[in-house]
Amino acid sequence: MSNKGKFYITTPIYYPSDKLHIGHAYCTVATDVMARYKRLTGYDVMFLTGTDEHGQKIEDKAKEAGVTPKQYVDNIVEGPRGVLDLWKLMNISNDRFIRTTDDYHQAAVQKIFKQLYEQGDIYKGTYKGKYCKPCESFWTESQLVDGKCPDCGREVQDAEEEAYFFRLSKYADRIQDLLENTDFLEPRSRVNEMINNFIKPGLEDLCVSRTSFTWGVPVDFDPGHVVYVWIDALTNYITALGYDNDRYNDYDKFWPADVHFVGKEIVRFHSIIWPAILMALNLPLPKKVFGHGWLLLDGGKMSKSKGNVVDPYLLSERYGVDALRFFLLRTFPFGSDGNFSNEALIGTINTDLANDLGNLLSRTVSMVGKYFPGGTLPAEQTADALDDDLIALASGLRDRYEAAMERFAFQDALSEVFKLVSRANKYIDETAPWVLARDEANKPRLARVMYNLLESLRISAVLLTPFMPDTAAEILRQIGACPCCSDWESAGKWGSLSATVTVSRGDNLFPRIDVEKELAALEALEAQARKAALPAVEVEPFAQEQVDFDTFCKSDFRAVKVKACENVKKSTKLLKFTLDDGSGTDRQILSGIAMYYKPEELVGKTLVAIINLPPRKMMGQESCGMLISAVHTEHGEEKLHLLMVDDAIPAGAKLC
């Protein structure tokens, strides 16, 4: 049991309506880093994530896929490259995973709904308003932006139905006080958004049930109604601890949550609706809600429907999970939006990880190995005033890092670590170990220089552990750090590493990437993935107009044998066929299929031609008829197959 107490942190639970993308991974990685950091500093951590599996969108998607909603979500959550696989890939250390379709959660939601109804916080009324189907959100007229959904900008529909309402308005004053006069919601800019957009216009009661779809937790005392999203989704934070159920038993230990990390578009639900539900249930409020920004692609939000999602599998296969985790939190502040681009990712890997960190490690470890037998430093070491600056920077690093992490300022925490990494690289140039190595008398000084570099690496690695767990462990292994000088306490103490440490060389952590080559390779891979995402096979729409039988019979289709075939000079498309059509006279047909066939492949084949089309000239040559082919589209590319028939069919046989 740790001595600092408990820390309960959550991510939003994800909609498994489609496979998750790197934008979803952004929030989960940030939460994981915070959870690992808190564990490192000695907290007893509960890190919860999960999936929010009900609602119309999932019902519709399942129908489209011809499966039940449960089968649909099971595949996206537990199937190959599903949510669970993705979190494993990203090295996410969640302690618990909740699915809102879990029995214990559904039963608890029913109890909570009933309690709120019985005590008058939920009542039955008629819902009239605007509904955004993709967001599954109801809006009042005044909340719409240009008549469209304020979250996604899409069209909304009129909706009216019997529904249950939660008395949100009753809690308006308490919520306003909470937002304005406490640090409940951060960053502060989000408080202003909430006050101006939702509190000031007046909080209206919230529709919390639906009758228009069935894929939800049933309202057990009123058949036909299902609990509509927020009471089902938000309560996951307490049911996953065992609230109103026997599955878990940590509610008393972990509630209230220390922080809910949420994306900016769901801050409203977490900072207004969630505290109001908890007030109605007479439960303590979470200590903090932090609304982070979005990871943008081409300046816009990533979404499957826009087709601009980035595949975390592809990126982590190429650069490693740690590089990806690092990039997500290194390049822009957690509270703001930031742009994803392949250039930025590769640039960050090359600059911070290959040039600065990777280089510092490989130079240091190889110098120790080269200058000292067995890679072990001697006990006799000589300090110098030149060391003071580096030691001062390293000694104060843990505190500066901690201050940033406590503000969820991941980017600042990493900047602090990388200031030390850069300073240590500069220290190599200042001390010029290769010059010291020339004279045996300098060995004690050289040993101290190496020790100082190893210490700088050790402190950096411990503090990088939450961000890049595997990389940090590998650095600590290579520099010979034992577990007792790889912990939080030792990160604050310069000189924790044994003076006579032994290093062991390992692989280069982050090989430098050739930017141009890599960008071209990524582009090709992404184009391939885009193509693969297109429908496998598409056929031409069927003709609506009917032809009468007599008209059809006028078309004279014949089996023809290819006697010769060649490319038409100066044409990239045309092939010239000399055909036996059974008439005793050769027939010439030109066909624009040169990109699909080589002439020699076709000689001797039996094809089908329509022979009573009026002759026409192509590239100065006459074509008497047309060869019949089958055409379709495959992954966005047009495919063509000449119709070839059994060679036993004689030339001239009529097809009817």
Contact segment (CB under 6 A) with ligand MSP among 262-270, 397-405, 430-438, 552-560 equals: 262-270
CB of 297 to ligand MSP, least distance (A): 7
Burial (CB count <10 Å: 0-12, 13-18, 19+), residue 420:
buried
State the Cα–Cα distance between residues 88 and 49, nearest whole angstrom. Answer: 13
Select 14 or 371, whichever has its Cβ closest to ligand MSP: 14
CB of 241 to ligand MSP, least distance (A): 14
Contact segment (CB under 6 A) with ligand MSP among 263-271, 364-372, 445-453, 491-499 equals: 263-271
Select 337 or 556, whichever has its Cβ closest to ligand MSP: 337
Under the binding rule (CB under 6 A), the answer on residue 372 touching ligand MSP is: no
Under the binding rule (CB under 6 A), the answer on residue 57 touching ligand MSP is: no
265, 412, 487, 556: which one binds ligand MSP (CB under 6 A): 265
The interaxial angle of helices 515-533 and 312-319, nearest 10 deg, is 150
Contact segment (CB under 6 A) with ligand MSP among 6-14, 83-91, 381-389, 512-520 equals: 6-14
CB of 52 to ligand MSP, least distance (A): 3
CB of 53 to ligand MSP, least distance (A): 9
Under the binding rule (CB under 6 A), the answer on residue 217 touching ligand MSP is: no
7, 9, 27, 47: which one binds ligand MSP (CB under 6 A): 27
Q: For residue 174, what are the CA distances in angstroms to 123, 231, 232, 422? A: 21, 19, 23, 49
Select 178 or 262, whichever has its Cβ closest to ligand MSP: 262
7, 9, 19, 24: which one binds ligand MSP (CB under 6 A): 24
Identify whether the C-beta of residue 573 lies closer than 8 Å to the C-beta of residue 594.
yes
State the Cα–Cα distance between residues 496 and 492, nearest whole angstrom. Answer: 9
Give residue number: closest CB to ligand MSP.
263
Select 263 or 469, whichever has its Cβ closest to ligand MSP: 263
Token pair, residue 501, equals 């440490």
State the Cα–Cα distance between residues 381 and 607, nearest whole angstrom. Answer: 88
> Shortest CA distance to 590 belongs to which of 623, 615, 630?
623
Under the binding rule (CB under 6 A), the answer on residue 207 touching ligand MSP is: no
Under the binding rule (CB under 6 A), the answer on residue 262 touching ligand MSP is: yes
7, 8, 9, 26: which one binds ligand MSP (CB under 6 A): 26
In the chain, the amino acid numbered 572 is T
CB of 271 to ligand MSP, least distance (A): 12
Contacts 24+ apart (CB under 8 A), 468-474: 468/322, 468/323, 468/325, 468/326, 469/36, 469/91, 469/322, 470/91, 470/320, 470/321, 470/322, 471/320, 471/322, 471/509, 474/506, 474/509
Select 296 or 391, whichever has its Cβ closest to ligand MSP: 296
Select 179 or 229, whichever has its Cβ closest to ligand MSP: 229
Select 60 or 265, whichever has its Cβ closest to ligand MSP: 265
Contact segment (CB under 6 A) with ligand MSP among 10-18, 345-353, 428-436, 544-552 equals: 10-18
State the Cα–Cα distance between residues 390 and 309, nearest whole angstrom. Answer: 43
Contacts 24+ apart (CB under 8 A), 428-431: 428/360, 428/363, 428/364, 428/453, 430/386, 431/386
7, 12, 258, 390: which one binds ligand MSP (CB under 6 A): 12
Select 75 or 502, whichever has its Cβ closest to ligand MSP: 75
Identify whether the C-beta of residue 357 lies closer than 8 Å to the C-beta of residue 434.
no
CB of 91 to ligand MSP, least distance (A): 18
* Three-state DSSP class for residue 227: strand
Which residues, at least 6 apart from 440, have a Cβ–Cβ distance to it below 8 Å? none
Under the binding rule (CB under 6 A), the answer on residue 96 touching ligand MSP is: no
CB of 282 to ligand MSP, least distance (A): 20
Identify whether the C-beta of residue 47 lies closer than 8 Å to the C-beta of residue 98.
no
* Three-state DSSP class for residue 610: strand
Identify whether the C-beta of residue 485 lies closer than 8 Å to the C-beta of residue 458.
yes
559, containing H or E segment: strand 557-567
295, 377, 568, 624: which one binds ligand MSP (CB under 6 A): 295
Contact segment (CB under 6 A) with ligand MSP among 258-266, 311-319, 385-393, 591-599 equals: 258-266
266, 377, 562, 575: which one binds ligand MSP (CB under 6 A): 266
Under the binding rule (CB under 6 A), the answer on residue 117 touching ligand MSP is: no
Under the binding rule (CB under 6 A), the answer on residue 52 touching ligand MSP is: yes
State the Cα–Cα distance between residues 533 and 603, nearest whole angstrom. Answer: 37
7, 8, 14, 166: which one binds ligand MSP (CB under 6 A): 14
State the Cα–Cα distance between residues 316 and 346, nearest whole angstrom. Answer: 12
Token pair, residue 456, equals 């700088």
CB of 230 to ligand MSP, least distance (A): 8
Place of tokens 């949550």: 257
Select 23 or 242, whichever has its Cβ closest to ligand MSP: 23
Name the DSSP class of 124: E
Contact segment (CB under 6 A) with ligand MSP among 24-32, 114-122, 160-168, 506-514 equals: 24-32
Read off φ and ψ for residue 648, nearest 5 degrees. -70, -15
Q: What angle do CA 409, 277, 24 make, to 5 degrees?
A: 40
> Shortest CA distance to 565 belongs to which of 552, 550, 576, 573?
576
Site string for ligand MSP, 230-249 (x = CB under 6 A): ---xx-x-------------
117, 198, 294, 326: which one binds ligand MSP (CB under 6 A): 294
Select 290 or 451, whichever has its Cβ closest to ligand MSP: 290
Identify whether the C-beta of residue 421 lies closer than 8 Å to the C-beta of residue 461.
no
**Interface residues toward ligand MSP, by CB under 6 A:** 12-15, 23-24, 26-27, 52, 233-234, 236, 262-263, 265-266, 294-295, 301-302
